[in-house]
């Protein structure tokens, strides 16, 4: 208990929480992308995969609550840090040079908030099936939920695909900084590996952007139909 209080009391403790919850979420987006890319293998592959994920409610809800907890911790410590950081400079400079601070590092809060609103929409859209109730009626020949048809139907609306691709751009931006900053926050960076970690984070962001965006683009271009 003392450790928990100390964690949220100190500025470094909150950064550890940011880094660790962020790390779990990064691993999730990588795994989620690998699953999603099965869209290119056709209906059988993705529908089977979706049925497999939902086979055990205990595992499914265990994973879901774990992820929700990570999102909660990430947002909670971000909010605490934001308040402390804005208190730390009450008077702004009239003239400010950005010196070395990258666009991504300066906009983590903004990209994070937009990404969170995307996640809410995305869950309502494809998980809770609230945006388009006809998704719930889609079943394939084996009686499984027809995820393939649902994704194609969802992404054929240009605004859904547009918001999705935009959000993936922001995910790329957020991770190009966040995925490297978490190593710094956990004390894993040093003079020897910092260039590699910075480069790897940017590459990861770009790979995730290309991977995720390829699905709505393929639907819009009728490559996947």
Partner 1 sequence: MNITLRVWRQKSRHETGHFEEYEAHDLNPNMSFLEMLDVVNEQLTKAGKQPIAFDHDCREGICGMCSCVINGEPHGPENKVATCQTYLRSFKDGDTITVEPFRAAGFPLVKDLVVDRSAFDRIMQAGGFISVNTGNAPDANAIPVGKEIADQAMDAAQCIGCGACVAACKNASAMLFVAAKVSHLNLLPQGQPEKSKRALAMVNQMDEEGFGACTVTGSCEAVCPKGISLSFISKLNRDYLGAMLFR
Residues that bind partner 1 (CB under 8 A): 3, 6-7, 9-16, 81, 84-85, 87-102, 105-106, 108, 177, 180-181, 183-191, 194
- 121: alpha, beta or left, given left = phi > 0 and alpha = psi -120 to 50? alpha
To the nearest whole angstrom, how small is the minimum distance from the Cβ of residue 173 to partner 1? 14
**39-45 contacts, C-beta under 8 A, 24 or more apart:** 39/148, 39/151, 39/215, 39/218, 39/224, 40/218, 40/224, 42/148, 43/140, 43/146, 43/148, 43/149
Closest CB to partner 1 among 20 and 33?
20
Closest CB to partner 1 among 5 and 34?
5
- 91: alpha, beta or left, given left = phi > 0 and alpha = psi -120 to 50? beta
To the nearest whole angstrom, how small is the minimum distance from the Cβ of residue 193 to partner 1? 9
- DSSP state, 145? B
Closest CB to partner 1 among 30 and 80?
80
Closest CB to partner 1 among 16 and 49?
16
To the nearest whole angstrom, how small is the minimum distance from the Cβ of residue 77 to partner 1? 10
Residue 45 CA to its chain's centroid (Å): 23
To the nearest whole angstrom, how small is the minimum distance from the Cβ of residue 171 to partner 1? 18
């Amino acid at each position: 208990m003392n450790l928990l209080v100390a964690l949220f009391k100190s500025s470094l403790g909150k950064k550890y929480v940011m880094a660790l919850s962020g790390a779990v979420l990064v691993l999730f987006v990588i795994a989620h992308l690998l699953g999603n890319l099965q869209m290119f293998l056709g209906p059988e592959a993705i529908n089977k995969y979706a049925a497999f994920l939902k086979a055990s409610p205990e595992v499914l809800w265990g994973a879901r609550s774990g992820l929700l907890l990570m999102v909660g911790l990430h947002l909670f410590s971000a909010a605490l840090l934001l308040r402390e950081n804005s208190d730390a400079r009450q008077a702004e400079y009239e003239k400010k040079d950005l010196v070395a601070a990258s666009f991504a590092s300066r906009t983590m809060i903004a990209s994070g908030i937009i990404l969170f609103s995307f996640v809410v929409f995305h869950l309502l859209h494809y998980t809770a099936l609230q945006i388009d109730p006809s998704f719930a009626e889609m079943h394939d020949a084996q009686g499984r939920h027809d995820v393939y048809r649902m994704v194609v139907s969802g992404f054929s609306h240009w605004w859904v695909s547009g918001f999705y691709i935009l959000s993936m751009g922001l995910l790329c931006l957020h991770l190009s900084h966040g995925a490297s900053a978490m190593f710094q926050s956990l004390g894993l960076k040093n003079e020897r590996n910092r260039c590699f970690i910075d480069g790897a984070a940017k590459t990861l962001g770009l790979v995730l952007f290309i991977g995720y965006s390829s699905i709505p683009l393929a639907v819009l271009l009728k490559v996947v139909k």
